[in-house]
Amino acid sequence: MSAVHADPIEAETPFARARAHAAKVEGILTSDEMIRKSHSELEAMLAGQGQEWARLLLEENLRLRAQLERRTAVVGAEGVARKSARDSERHLETLLGRVPVPRLSYQAPGATDLHPMDAALNLPREMFSHGIRRMVAKEAAKSSFDEVVETVRDFTGASIAKRQVEELAIRAAQDFDAFYEERAAARDPSDDLLVISTDGKGIVMRHEDLREGTRRAAKKSARKLETRLTPGEKSNRKRMAQVATVYSIAPFPRGPADILHSLRDPDEVDAKRPRPTDKRVWASVEKPARMVIRDAFAEALRRDPEKTRRWVVLVDGEPKQLRAVKTEARRAGVKVTILADIVHVIEYIWGAARALFGESNTKAEKWVEHRLHALLAGRSGGEVAKTIRWWEARDDELDAAAHAAIDKTCRYLADRTRTRLLHYQQALRDGLPIATGVIEGACRYVVKDRMDRTGARWSLTGAEAVLRLRAIRASKDFDAYWAFHLERERERNHASRYEDGKIPDPLPAPKPRLKRVK
C-alpha cells in the first residue's frame, strides 16, 4: 500500500498538516477500493498512515516550540557569552520517522554553538532519538545486531545500519557502573542470608581484543581454515567474562537426604525450598576478574552496611578466584563463609567413577552417591580421596587415562586450601546454600545464550555493552536504569556545556491557571 502524503498547506494554526493528513486517510477509508480490502491490508495501511500522522504531530509540536522560543542570555561553561542568535535546524531520527527540529543557535567568535532548545528537549548529540536508542538497547540485549536492524525497520519509521546499532548499544550501556554505585540498595532487616557467587564464562573474541597472553597463544596455534573456526576449534579464541551475582535467601536447614534426590522425592524438597530474592546478576569481559568480585562485595555492602547478616560466598574452588574472594572479604572487613559448589565437587567424583566403572551406569551412580553422602555427612575431602584411592588400588586393569582421572579428583578433594570449603555438614545444619544454581543460570542467560552464537566474534566494547544490557534486564532494572541514563545524558550533553551547569529556559513562562470559584 503506497503512503498517503498530505499536501502542504499554509495555515497559522498548529497541527493543520496533521489534521489534513487525517482527513485524507478518512477519505481513503470510505472509498470503494478500501471497503473491499481484507483486514490485513486495511491494518497495514492504517499502521503506516497512523505512524505518518503521529510523525506530523511530532513535527508540528517541534515547530510550535520553535515559534514560541524566546531569546535569552546564554553563557557557555568556559564563561563566553553567546550574544548572536540565528535560526537553525537539525534532524532527528525517531520511532515515527525523521523530523526536522528548528531552533535558535547561539554563537560567539571562537566558541562552539549552543542550542538551549536542544537541552529543553534533551536531544542526543547524534541523529537517533532516545526512543530509538531505548529500542536498540532492549533488542540488542536479546538479538543479534542484524536482527535489531530488521526489527527497527519493520516496527518503526526509522532506518539504521548494523554498525550504528552497535554504537548505540555501547552508548546506552555507558552508565551501568554509575547506576549501581549510586542506587540505594534496599536494606533487608530480616535474618536472610546474603549470598555472593561468581564464575567465569568464555566469549569468542576478535583477535585484537583477546587478552595479551591469549593473543600470543593464538598466533602460535595453527588454524584449520583461514576464514572461520571449525567445530570445536575455540582454544585461544576466547576471553573470559567474569559473572557475579548477589542475592538474599532465607536459611533452609536440611540433611544429606534432602540433597540426595534418590533418597527423597525432589518435588517434595523443591516445594519447601526458599527462593532467592533481590537478585542482581552481571558480567564483564572488560574488567579483570578480581574487579568484578570487588564489585560484588561493594553491592553486598550497600545491602548490609552494618554487616549484621551472615555472608555466604559460593565458588567453584579455582585458586585465583578464591584468593580474590578472600582479599575482598578482608578489604570489606566482613566475615564470610566460603563454600565450594557441590555441583563442581560431584563432577569431579563422577570423573573418578567413570574411570573405575566405565561410562555412566547404575553401579557408578550408586558409587558416586556413597562418596557424596560421606562428604555431606561430615567426612573431609581428604578422607573421601583416600577411599577413592582404595578403589583404585584394588583394580589392576585401569589404564593410564583412568589413573590420571582419579588423580585429578583426589588432588581436588585433598587440596588443603580447598578442603576447608567442603564443610557441608555444618552448612546444611545452618541452612546455607551449597550449590551455585543461581550463578550457573546467570552464566547461561547473561553470557552463553546471547554471546555464544555460531560464528559470532565480538569486539571488546560491543561485548561489554551487550553483557551490561543483558544484566540490567536480568536484574529487572531496565526502566529504572533508563530513567537514570536519560538524566545522565542531559548532564553530559547539555548541562555540562553551560556556565555553572545552568541551562537557560528558551520557552516563555507557562500561563498561570485560573482557579474555579464555586
Taking only the tens place, the pLDDT of each residue in 314-362 is: 998 888 999 999 999 999 999 999 999 998 899 999 999 999 998 778 8
> Which of 214, 200, 272 is CA-nearest to residue 467?
200
Can you give the pLDDT at residue 7? 46
For the record, the C-alpha cell of 488 comes out as 545522565
Can you give the pLDDT at residue 373? 93
Cα 203 to Cα 466: distance, rounded to the nearest angstrom: 12
Can you give the pLDDT at residue 62? 96
Cα 169 to Cα 165: distance, rounded to the nearest angstrom: 6
| Contact between residue 274 and residue 247 where contact means Cβ atoms under 8 Å apart | no
Question: β-pairing, 238-249 with 336-340?
Answer: unpaired
Q: Which residues pair with 338 in a beta bridge?
A: 313
pTM of the model: 0.85
Classify residue 378 as left (phi > 0), alpha (psi -120 to 50) or beta: left
DSSP string, 247-301: EEE------HHHH-TTTS-HHHHHHHPPPPEEEEEEEESSS-HHHHHHHHHHHHH
DSSP string, 325-382: HHHHHHHHT--EEEEE-HHHHHHHHHHHHHHHHSSS-HHHHHHHHHHHHHHHTT--HH
Tens of pLDDT along 113-172?
Answer: 999 999 999 999 999 999 999 999 999 999 999 999 999 999 999 999 999 999 999 999
Torsion of CA 479, 485, 489, 490, to 10 degrees: 60
Burial of 401 from C-beta contacts in 10 A (0-12 / 13-18 / 19+): exposed
| Contact between residue 427 and residue 376 where contact means Cβ atoms under 8 Å apart | no
Cα 133 to Cα 166: distance, rounded to the nearest angstrom: 11
Domain limits, the chain: 1-64, 69-172+477-507, 189-218+234-450
Can you give the pLDDT at residue 18? 94
With a CB cutoff of 8 Å and minimum separation 6, the contacts of 129 are 92, 93, 94, 95, 123
Q: Which residues of the chain have pLDDT under 70?
A: 1-12, 184-190, 212-236, 261-271, 514-518
Can you give the pLDDT at residue 283? 95
| Contact between residue 295 and residue 322 where contact means Cβ atoms under 8 Å apart | no
> Which of 51, 62, 54, 108 is CA-nearest to residue 81?
108
Measured between alpha carbons, how far is residue 393 from residues 218, 294, 351 in Å?
A: 41, 44, 17
Task: Quote the distance between the C-alpha of residue 258 and its chain's center.
Answer: 34
Order of strands, sheet of 238-249, starting from the edge strand that comes earlier in the sequence: 277-284, 238-249, 193-204, 311-315, 336-340
Question: β-pairing, 97-107 with 193-204?
Answer: unpaired
Burial of 345 from C-beta contacts in 10 A (0-12 / 13-18 / 19+): buried
Can you give the pLDDT at residue 184? 67
> Which of 320, 183, 296, 319 is CA-nearest to residue 247?
296
Q: Which residues pair with 76 in a beta bridge?
A: 498
